[in-house]
Structure 1
Amino acid sequence: PLARTISVSRGPAPDTLPSGAVLLRDIRFRSVCEHHLLPFAGHAHIAYLPGEQVVGLGALVRVVEILAARPQVQERLGEQIADTIAEHLDTRGVLVVLDAAHGCVTMRGGRQTEASTLTIAARGEYTDAVARAELITLIGASVPLGGAAR
């Protein structure tokens, strides 16, 4: 199902492909912690540097939804999302940031209702700390990003 979900578009022509990152923020997701069988939910932020292929933004959302549908830990979910996008799109770089609240933290033990867990999975050019930091800054931006900078 994932191969069909992230089917790629061979157009536009290579000279019209984005030269910078494609960033989709605030994708809501829900999953179940495999350790405690309690829910965790939050937002996924995905950035990728296209190689020769692009994908519709809805496909990125579906990848998150499909992979989040099974019990797992958040760390693995982020890694699986990054691997799936990198493999199927042959990207130059992928960054996946997950920010989630966990039922095992909010409903058990210390009952920290405001705590969230942040995980980062990076591939390709985004394994470089400087490139990764730039995107993490954009993900944290509190205002709409609008169009591309000139």
Structure 2
Amino acid sequence: MDNKKTLSHAEDLTDFEIPYITFIVHTASNAKRVWRNDLAVEEAVIYILVDSTTKIAFASLGKVTGTALGITLFGPQFTLLWGRYGCNPIGSQSNYASNFIKKALARHEEKELKESFFILTEPVLNKVDEIQNAK
């Protein structure tokens, strides 16, 4: 059997189709939330893009890291195995990055909400102060 041909087929085994599967899963879950009116369409698009991008980036980083560790520590025969297992620990950290990005994107809205709350409660607080001063 030709070694080059075998290696080219084995190279395809390390491609886990992470970007496609991840994008489909996040799209389906957010579409379900939109259908149930738990989420606005604009928010769903942002969530799909942020969640998918962070998951893909971290899983790809894990794949590369796992492959490098497998080939360095145990030799070429463990490249596929460690490439697969590298995705899990590093890919699982993508949730923290995704939440951080979503919070950063929502800072402006959060600030507006706080300002609106204080504007709304200001007349009530003034009335309370009037009543206390009248006593």
Higher relative contact order (CA 8 A, sep 6+): 1
TM over 0.5: no
Q: TM-score, normalised by structure 2?
A: 0.23
More helix by share: 2
Q: Which one has the largest radius of gyration?
A: 2
